[in-house]
Amino acid sequence: MKLHFYKYQGAGNDFILIDNRDNSVDHHNPKLISGLCDRRFGIGGDGLMLLQNKEGYDFEMVYYNADGQPSSMCGNGGRCIVAFAKFLGVIESETEFLAVDGPHYAKISDEGDWVSLQMIDVNDVSKDAEAYVLNTGSPHYVKLVDGLEQRNVYQEGHAIRNNATYRKNGINVNFVEPMEEGYFVRTFERGVEDETFACGTGVTAVALAMAQHNEQTGHITTPIKVLGGNLNIRFDYDGKAFTDIFLEGPAVKVFEGEVVI
């Protein structure tokens, strides 16, 4: 069988996208999905998403990590699937879609390549020694460091993700260094088991954790530089809860093609 696919990237976090509105693709197949995401033997991607019909919503986002397992929310994936929905003519400039962590509102530019995605509210940030731990749709560990450019993010991230606390359920590990304006962030992603060029729920977690760390409240806008580009996070924080959280950035179609499965 031939499968038509699309490849998108959001700040270098890259995904295979499949239009499954007719429900013709049986995606409950970890070997197939990890094979398609393989960068040498497949199409290559940090994850794979299916756009499906869902009553009461514009569409449903079904997300798999590159290891072929269904996972929690993917922020950059969410932005890319909104751009894909516009490309397919499923939506125009605004949308309400369903993802694994609930409904999401998003807005897309007329050109179709810049997406603002509303994320879930967050009111629980804990500490693991000096690091912050929070769930922004996916679980994240946020650690302030120096010399981030030179650090071995694979080695340090892999060690934290596989320590006794996180080994069973996994966690995404974000290293953050303040810049003149905003932050520089590098992330080791669970389910990819490697450093990725960007992580949307990760930079969201960093922006919230840094607001708490710096005791900032009110309406906050945080620019973040990642290996694959620049993202922006804006939110309200009253000292207890983070609300109206938006992850903003590019979402670009790279190519499309057919693969035999």
Ligand X SMILES: N[C@@H](CCC[C@H](N)C(=O)O)C(=O)O
**Residues binding ligand X (CB under 6 A):** 13, 46, 65, 71-72, 74-77, 138, 172, 189-192, 199-202
Is 76 annotated to bind a ligand? Reply is yes
Residues in CB range of 78: below 8 A, 6 or more apart: 61, 99, 104, 106, 117, 200, 247
Catalytic residue among 73, 74, 176, 206: 74
Residues 139/171, Cβ–Cβ less than 8 Å: yes
Burial class (CB in 10 A: 0-12, 13-18, 19+), 218: exposed
Shortest distance (Å) from residue 13 CB to ligand X: 5
Q: Is 189 annotated as a binding residue?
A: yes
Query: Which of 7, 190 has the CB closer to ligand X?
Result: 190
Task: Please return the burial class of 127, using the count of CB atoms within 10 Å of its CB with bins 0-12, 13-18 and 19+.
Answer: exposed
- Least distance from C-beta 240 to ligand X, angstroms? 24
- Residue 257: CB minimum distance to ligand X, A: 22
Q: What radius of gyration, in Å, describes the C-alpha atoms of the chain?
A: 17
Nearer to ligand X, 150 or 169 (CB): 169
**Residue tagged active-site, from 83, 199, 209, 210:** 199
Do 97 and 104 meet the contact criterion of CB atoms below 8 Å apart? yes
Nearest approach in angstroms of CB 65 to ligand X is 5
Q: Active-site residue 37, yes or no?
A: no
| Residue among 13 and 92 whose Cβ is closer to ligand X | 13
200 marked as binding residue? yes
Is 135 labelled as part of a ligand binding site? Answer: no
235: tokens are 């939110």
Nearer to ligand X, 61 or 220 (CB): 61
156 is in an annotated binding site: no
- 74 has catalytic annotation: yes
The secondary element (H helix, E strand) that includes residue 142 is: strand 139-144
CB 259 within 8 A of CB 43: yes
Cite the active site residues: 74, 199
Residue ranges of the binding site for substrate: 13, 65, 75-76, 172, 189-190, 200-201
